Amino acid sequence: MRVLVAPNTFKGSLTAGAVAHLVSTGLAHRLPGVHVTELPIADGGDGTISVLIAAGFDGEPVDTVDALLCATKSQVARQAATVVIELAEICGLAGVKDRPPRPWDTSTQGVGLAAHAALVGGAKELLLAVGGSASVDGGLGLLAGLGYGLFDANGDKVPPTAKGLARIWSITPPADERLLNSCTWTVLVDVDSPACGPHGAAQVFGPQKGFTEDECFRLDTAMGRWCDIVSRFGGRFSVGELQQLPGAGAAGGFAVAASGVLGASIRSGAEVLAQLTNLAGAVAAADAVIIGEGRLDEQTLAGKGPAFVASIAKAAGKPVFALAGSSALNATQLLELGIKSELDVVTLAEAAGSVSAALANPRHWVTVACDALGGRLAASGL
């Protein structure tokens, strides 16, 4: 039996690579003779750089700043003149979770600084993977890191944060704008949310970054004004088009600036990462596919990496199994993923007795869960 193990990161506990290796080892003990291929995946969020380095990209160090604008060292992934920058790696929510929440002061400036360094280093194609963000700054931080001027109605500079988003009035181009125009820009997203409205950047994702409900409504209004400013400055979209652009709401409206000012295209992170790692080829060579992430839920179905892997497997006629920290999907939703039975989903929470117990020792419970997963594979008759 040939099994492809292609999990996403178990956010906050295990990397995708660690999960893939643990599952591979566990299945080898449970099913002697099984041939397991490990292919950790990412969808533009946490773990994107690690997945690409495992796939043959080179890791390249970069000096930048985190979400609270403190100096930090990070890395990007490079292959020839293509550079991939992971927002979560540089200025994501995980990097500031141990500090008191300051959502109004968080920024994506670190991504802009890393992008500028990549351009100076000769990059001709920049892929910005933007899942796992800590900020709702509309991409002000990106522009500030690239040298754009950001000003309020009085002509005073505004910070590249949510505070700045609430005050921004105008933009001025950087001195080296030609450098920014010398490459192609792509934003890799894991959601297709628009910038504004009830499904937009502030109202959907603001609470997870620490904003209150009232603050989210204020931010949504500010985001609408920002779309108007960007549409007039960039001339690429009308204000209405930019406010409702699919994917522009990812990472706190990051693509409002990236697309509206820089002309970046917005693409599914899962799709692009699948191409870069030859997911389709790995699925074709397998008899069964195991997907996984920390929690399977409705967000999984809305463009996350495991759903994309499952769609490739389903199209190829390969049975799909799942290992997850926990699952909130019903039988009908699982069928959408190509998973025929709820028994074909094994969770660490079930193995450990609770989510908290699973989180206390995830490596152990992955190993335990693999015994049940191996049983399901054996029962499948493959």
Alpha helices in 126-212 (DSSP H): 140-145, 162-165, 177-180, 201-205
Same domain for 224 and 169: yes
The tokens of 179 are what? 């450098």
* pLDDT exceeds 90 at position 100: no
* pLDDT exceeds 80 at position 198: yes
Same domain for 85 and 31: no
Task: Report the CATH number at residue 151.
Answer: 3.90.1510.10
Task: Report the CATH number at residue 30.
Answer: 3.40.50.10350
Q: What is the length of the chain?
A: 382
Same domain for 258 and 344: no
Number of domain units in the chain: 2
On whether the CB atoms of residues 44 and 190 are closer than 8 A, the answer is yes
Strand order in the sheet with 320-327: 35-38, 2-7, 288-296, 320-327, 345-347
**Distance separating alpha carbons of residues 364 and 376, to the nearest angstrom:** 19
How far apart, in Å, are the Cα atoms of 235 and each of 61, 181, 201, 260? 35, 15, 22, 8
Same domain for 226 and 161: yes
Q: Which of 270, 295, 322 is where one domain is finished?
A: 270
Same domain for 105 and 222: yes
Q: Which of 270, 290, 309 is where one domain is finished?
A: 270
Same domain for 191 and 258: yes
State pLDDT tens for residues 285-340: 999 999 999 999 988 887 788 999 999 999 999 999 999 999 999 999 999 999 99
Indicate the average pLDDT of the chain.
94
Same domain for 57 and 20: no
**Which residue segment(s) compose the domain that 335 sits in?**
2-41+279-379
State pLDDT tens for residues 232-270: 999 999 999 999 999 999 999 999 999 999 999 999 999
With cut-offs at 50, 70 and 90, classify the pLDDT of residue 97. confident
Same domain for 220 and 196: yes
Same domain for 202 and 66: yes
Q: Which of 225, 241, 270 is where one domain is finished?
A: 270
Same domain for 20 and 62: no
Question: Tell me, what's the pLDDT at 382?
Answer: 79
Centre a 10 Å sphere on the Cβ of residue 201 and count the other Cβ atoms it contains.
32
Same domain for 240 and 98: yes
Same domain for 310 and 358: yes
